[in-house]
């Protein structure tokens, strides 16, 4: 197999996708993604130095390339004499797996096409799903998703995960009082003032492996709760409003996290305090807003070590996400207007604040 040729084909589609969607990101989000893409293309680990004046020239060059590609269509991929649509993921991986490679192609936020070509670090079957553990990413687009679900295939991406955890560690170093962030890292033997070293890297790899279980369980939770996925994706496909998309995805994520097959149930049953601490640390603002019970329950848990409060919060969160999804699907079926969906969500959030 001509891996160099394949890499060039996949990277072209990555650049075409980025050219069409870079404007959807906030300025801060865009800079973060450019930084991580630069590291990927220059083979740098998150904690390695290397973001110097060269990055400005690289960004200018990339922006010029996007200008040339912004009206281009995605290209089919030629592999061993066969032509594949870039979204024929299972068919491509059946071929690439023989060469220790794995390919991902799907749609992310803003309905942006997202692609990567990577070294395959490991693979297993669980709950009738095929799980790919992604090693060195040969090429990728701006997307920084740490995990992806495509059909019955789950992709755990260690490169973006390491970057996410490194950013959290840097956040810890900048805090006077560490709080739950300090506890989460200390449970893996990582202290705030620790300098990068071989031992530190080993601890971060152990941490990454642990967090990958949360990611996997979230994706399995999505599979378990997939009965309404097509209808939900139908709403997303008709939406162009960023705020609405973030909350629609947040509701779906909350349903997966709190389901019977999701990560919170697993952590409660296994008494996984270290994973629970990092689950709290990694929650984004929207999930905190949709699931306030978990924050209160965690504070009580820290004082009492009572896992039942976490389980009760999980059940409450699941009921809320389930009802919200049902109500929003009803609104969508009745009106077919994204504006009505947005109004319903805003009214719900206002009533929750009272």
Q: Which of 127, 160, 193 is the last residue of a domain?
A: 160
How many CA atoms within 13 Å lie on the side-chain side of 283? 25
pLDDT in tens, 24-42: 888 998 999 999 999 999 9
Both 134 and 45 in one domain: the answer is yes
Q: Is pLDDT above 70 for 51?
A: no
Q: Would you give the DSSP letter of residue 75?
A: P
Task: Average the pLDDT over 250-278 and give the result.
Answer: 97
- The pLDDT, as a whole number, for residue 122 is 95
Residue 207 counted as domain residue: no
Q: How confident is the model at residue 262 (pLDDT cuts 50, 70, 90)?
A: very high
Classify residue 171: in a domain, yes or no: no
pLDDT of residue 228: 87
What pLDDT is attached to residue 52?
66
The verdict on residue 167 lying in a domain is no
With contact defined as beta carbons under 8 Å apart, do 105 and 115 qualify?
Answer: yes
In a domain, 309, yes or no: yes
- pTM comes to 0.92
Same domain as 229, residue 154: no
Asked if residue 85 is part of any domain, the answer here is yes
The SS3 assignment for 189 reads coil
pLDDT digits (tens, 9 = 90+) for 69-117: 999 999 999 999 999 999 999 999 999 999 999 999 999 988 899 999 9
pLDDT number for residue 334: 95
Question: 266-325, pLDDT tens digit by residue?
Answer: 999 999 999 999 999 999 999 999 999 999 999 999 999 999 999 999 999 999 999 999
DSSP 296-351: HHHHHHHHH--HHHHHHHHHHHHHHHHHHHHHHHHHHHHH--HHHHHHHHHHHHHH
HSE on the CB side for 239, CA within 13 Å?
Answer: 24
**How many Cβ atoms from other residues are within 10 Å of residue 254's Cβ?**
25
Selected residue with higher pLDDT from 206 and 229: 206
Distance of CA 265 to the CA centre of its chain: 20
Question: What pLDDT, on the 0 to 100 scale, is given for residue 196?
Answer: 85
> Among 21, 100, 116, which residue's Cα sits nearest to residue 66?
21
- Both 223 and 106 in one domain: the answer is no
Q: What percent of the chain has pLDDT over 70?
A: 98
Q: Given a cut of 90, is residue 54 above it in pLDDT?
A: no
| Same domain membership, residue 246 and residue 152 | no
Q: Do 133 and 224 reside in the same domain of the chain?
A: no
Q: How does the average pLDDT of the chain come out, rounded?
A: 94
Asked whether residue 58 is assigned to any structural domain, the reply reads yes
Sequence-ordered strand ranges (E) for the chain: 77-79, 82-84, 101-107, 113-126, 129-140, 147-150, 153-157
Q: Is 46 in a helix, a strand, or coil? A: coil
136-160 average pLDDT score: 95
Count the domains in the chain.
2
Residue 352 has pLDDT above 80, yes or no: no
| φ/ψ (deg, to 5) at 147 | -150, 150
Pair 39, 101 in one domain:
yes
User: pLDDT (tens digit, 9 = 90+) per residue, 266-281?
Assistant: 999 999 999 999 999 9
Most distant CA pair in the chain: distance in Å? 62
Which range, of 40-54, 155-169, 209-223, 308-322, averages the lowest pLDDT? 40-54
Half-sphere exposure of 303 (CA within 13 A, CB side): 6
Structure token digits, residue 6: 């394949």
In the listed set 120, 136, 160, which residue is the last one of a domain according to the structure?
A: 160
**Mean pLDDT in residue range 129-156:** 95
Please give the pLDDT value at position 92. Answer: 97
- Which residues, in sequence order, are CB contacts of 228 under 8 Å at separation 6+? 325, 329
Asked if 116 and 238 sit in the same domain, the reply is no
Question: What pLDDT is attached to residue 24?
Answer: 87
* Beta carbons of 161 and 207 less than 8 angstroms apart: no
Mark whether 32 and 125 lie in a shared domain: yes
> Is residue 249 located within the same domain as residue 313?
yes
Q: In the predicted model, is pLDDT for residue 53 greater than 70?
A: no
Complete DSSP assignment for 121-157: EEEEEETTEEEEEEEEEEEE-S---SEEEETTEEEEE
Do the domain assignments include residue 71?
yes
State the pLDDT confidence band at 195, using cuts at 50, 70 and 90: confident
Shared-domain flag, residues 70 and 150 = yes
220 & 127 share domain: no
Please indicate whether residue 207 or residue 234 has the higher confidence score (pLDDT): 207
Residues 20, 149 share a domain: yes
| 160, 186, 201 - which closes a domain | 160
Give the residue with greater pLDDT, 15 vs 52.
15
- Please give the residue range of the domain that contains residue 68: 3-160
Per-residue pLDDT at 18? 98
In this prediction, residue 99 carries a pLDDT of 96
With respect to residue 187, please indicate whether it lies within any of the assigned structural domains: no
* Closest to 150 in 3D by CA, of 90, 191, 231: 90
């Amino acid at each position: 197999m001509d891996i160099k040729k394949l890499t060039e084909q996949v990277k072209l589609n990555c650049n075409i996708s980025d050219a069409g969607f870079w404007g959807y990101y906030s300025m801060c989000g865009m800079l973060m993604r450019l930084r991580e893409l630069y590291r990927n293309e220059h083979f740098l680990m998150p904690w390695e130095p290397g973001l110097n004046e060269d990055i400005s020239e690289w960004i200018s060059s990339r922006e010029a390339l996007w200008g040339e590609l912004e009206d281009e269509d995605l290209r089919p991929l030629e592999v061993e004499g066969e032509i594949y649509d870039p979204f024929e993921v299972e068919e491509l991986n059946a071929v690439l797996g023989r060469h220790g490679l794995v390919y991902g192609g799907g749609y992310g936020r803003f309905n942006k096409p997202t692609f990567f070509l990577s070294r395959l670090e490991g693979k297993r079957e669980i709950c009738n799903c095929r799980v790919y553990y992604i090693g060195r990413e040969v090429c990728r687009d701006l997307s920084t998703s740490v995990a992806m679900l495509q059909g019955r295939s789950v992709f755990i991406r260690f490169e973006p995960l390491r970057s996410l955890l490194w950013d959290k560690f840097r956040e810890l170093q900048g805090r006077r009082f560490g709080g739950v962030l300090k506890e989460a890292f200390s449970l893996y033997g990582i202290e705030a003032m620790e300098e990068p070293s071989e031992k530190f890297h080993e601890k971060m790899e152990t941490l990454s492996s642990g967090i990958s279980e949360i990611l996997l369980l979230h994706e399995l939770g999505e599979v378990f709760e997939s009965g309404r996925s097509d209808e939900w994706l139908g709403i997303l496909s008709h939406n162009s409003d960023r705020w609405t998309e973030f909350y629609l995805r947040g509701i779906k994520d909350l349903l997966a996290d709190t389901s019977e097959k999701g990560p919170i149930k697993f952590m409660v049953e296994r008494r996984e305090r270290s994973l629970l601490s990092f689950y709290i640390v990694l929650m984004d603002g929207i999930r905190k807003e949709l699931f306030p019970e978990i924050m209160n329950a965690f504070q009580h848990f820290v004082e009492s070590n009572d896992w039942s409060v976490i389980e009760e919060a999980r059940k409450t969160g699941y009921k809320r996400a389930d009802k919200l999804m049902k109500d929003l699907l009803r609104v969508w079926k009745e009106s077919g207007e994204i504006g009505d969906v947005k109004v319903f969500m805003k009214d719900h959030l206002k009533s929750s604040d009272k």
